[in-house]
């Protein structure tokens, strides 16, 4: 009995030398070993402490590069027993405690912070501020509705803090407020610098049947389809595409309604004004058939510059209608036989290329 009592007393004394870990405590320890999956730490207890990789950081870290044997560190007690007789530890929780304190202070100061979006979920995205897992509602990630939130995954963006609750471990961020404030600042700058007749650059944001809306710096201006090209186009999509950066001329400004009308074609020279520099009577030009009527065909020499080939000047053979010989989209060579720049009219002849005297024929 004396031996048994002595043994029990020794064990009791032995255990008293160990610090009994309690959940939520911070203790210091020394690393015993490091593998790719976990870090083993001696915390002065009869069982070793284990830090799984998932409790090191929310970021993907290489444990063998992150820590080394013999290194001293402070750890957070998650569980006294992980089921295998070891104490479950965490480094991430210590960082989170510090991050919550910092985040609360940043929220009080209304400070803009950077977060990294890791996942798109129902109703929004998961965004991390250091080791804190926060949430950005779908309604708070952009100024407009975003159908596919996965486009933000992996991005680091600036946000404002909507809500912080350390006890509930709840953090909610907004990017929309920040974008809205930036938009207001851009509008003020835009109105101070823009004027009718000025040339500005912008990004095509939206295309409709009647034109395209271009962001010229905090405001969307409209390019009507009639101001997209000097030539004929059936759809605005023939002239611009979404996401494209374009130079445009400011036609009109209405600050009260915040409406700005733009022109894409007027940034380029009017082909009629440049006509004398590029063409003269008797020149043979390469053109394209763009319209057919009963009395002739209209040929496009270049966008915005069209000429009429009277039915009598299409072929030496008698034809009933221009469509007997030509169709829209055909390439055709023609000779310039008459020009009236004031009325913006050009007369062309196809048959005159092979029959010099044909251009003298009287068109009805």
- Tokens representing 79 are 């569980």
pLDDT band at residue 362 under the 50/70/90 scheme: very low
- Report the 10 Å Cβ neighbour count for 191: 14
Q: Is the pLDDT of residue 78 over 50?
A: yes
| C-alpha span between 24 and 93 (Å, rounded) | 9
Interval 146-160: pLDDT, tens: 889 999 999 999 999
Interval 184-223: pLDDT, tens: 888 888 888 889 999 999 999 999 999 999 999 888 999 9
**Alpha helix (H) residue ranges in the chain:** 2-16, 63-66, 92-108, 176-193, 275-278
- β-pairing, 156-165 vs 113-121, is antiparallel
Structural domains of the chain, ranges and CATH numbers in brackets: 18-90 (2.40.50.140), 95-178 (2.40.50.140), 194-267 (2.40.50.140), 275-360 (2.40.50.140)
| C-alpha span between 111 and 199 (Å, rounded) | 37
| C-alpha span between 331 and 104 (Å, rounded) | 71
| C-alpha span between 235 and 195 (Å, rounded) | 28
| C-alpha span between 221 and 182 (Å, rounded) | 18
Answer whether 161's CB lies under 8 Å from 106's CB.
yes
The DSSP output letter for 314 is T
pLDDT band at residue 364 under the 50/70/90 scheme: very low
- Report the 10 Å Cβ neighbour count for 195: 9
Taking Cα atoms as reference points, which of 215, 297, 317, 318 lies closest to residue 260?
Answer: 215
Predicted local confidence at residue 12, as pLDDT: 56
Interval 237-265: pLDDT, tens: 999 999 999 999 999 999 888 899 999 99
Q: Is the pLDDT of residue 4 over 80?
A: no
- Higher-pLDDT residue of 58 and 234 is 234
pLDDT band at residue 1 under the 50/70/90 scheme: very low
- Tokens representing 65 are 């590069």
Q: Quote the pTM value.
A: 0.54
């Amino acid at each position: 009995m004396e031996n048994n009592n002595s043994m029990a007393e020794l064990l009791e004394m032995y255990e008293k030398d160990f610090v009994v870990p309690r959940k939520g405590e911070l203790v210091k320890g020394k690393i015993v070993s490091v593998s790719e999956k976990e870090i083993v730490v001696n915390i002065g207890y009869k069982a070793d402490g284990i830090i799984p990789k998932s409790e090191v950081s929310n970021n993907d870290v290489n444990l063998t590069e992150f820590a080394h044997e013999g290194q001293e560190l402070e750890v957070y007690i998650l569980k006294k027993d992980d089921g295998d007789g070891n104490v479950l530890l965490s480094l991430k929780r210590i960082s989170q405690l510090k991050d919550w304190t910092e985040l609360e202070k940043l929220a009080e100061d209304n400070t803009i912070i950077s977060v990294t979006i890791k996942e798109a979920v129902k109703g929004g995205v998961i965004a991390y501020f250091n080791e804190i897992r926060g949430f950005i509602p779908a309604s708070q990630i952009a100024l407009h509705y975003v159908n596919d939130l996965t486009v933000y995954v992996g991005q680091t963006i600036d946000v404002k803090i909507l809500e912080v609750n350390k006890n509930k471990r709840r953090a909610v961020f907004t990017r929309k407020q920040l974008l809205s404030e930036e938009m207001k600042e851009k509008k003020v700058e835009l109105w101070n610098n823009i004027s009718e007749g000025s040339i500005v650059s912008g990004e095509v944001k939206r295309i409709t049947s009647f034109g395209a809306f271009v962001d010229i710096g905090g405001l969307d201006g409209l390019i009507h389809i009639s101001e997209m090209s000097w030539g004929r186009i059936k759809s605005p999509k023939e002239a611009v595409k979404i996401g494209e950066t374009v130079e445009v001329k400011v036609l009109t400004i209405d600050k009260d309604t915040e409406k700005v009308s733009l022109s894409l074609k007027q940034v380029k020279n009017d082909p009629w004004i440049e006509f004398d520099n590029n063409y003269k009577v008797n020149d043979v030009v390469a053109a394209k058939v763009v319209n057919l009527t009963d009395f002739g065909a209209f040929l496009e020499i270049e966008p915005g510059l069209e000429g009429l080939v009277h039915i009598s000047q299409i072929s030496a053979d008698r034809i009933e209608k221009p469509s007997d010989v030509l169709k829209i989209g055909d390439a055709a060579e023609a000779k310039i036989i008459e020009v009236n720049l004031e009325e913006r009219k050009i007369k062309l002849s196809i048959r005159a290329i092979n029959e010099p005297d044909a251009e003298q024929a009287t068109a009805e």
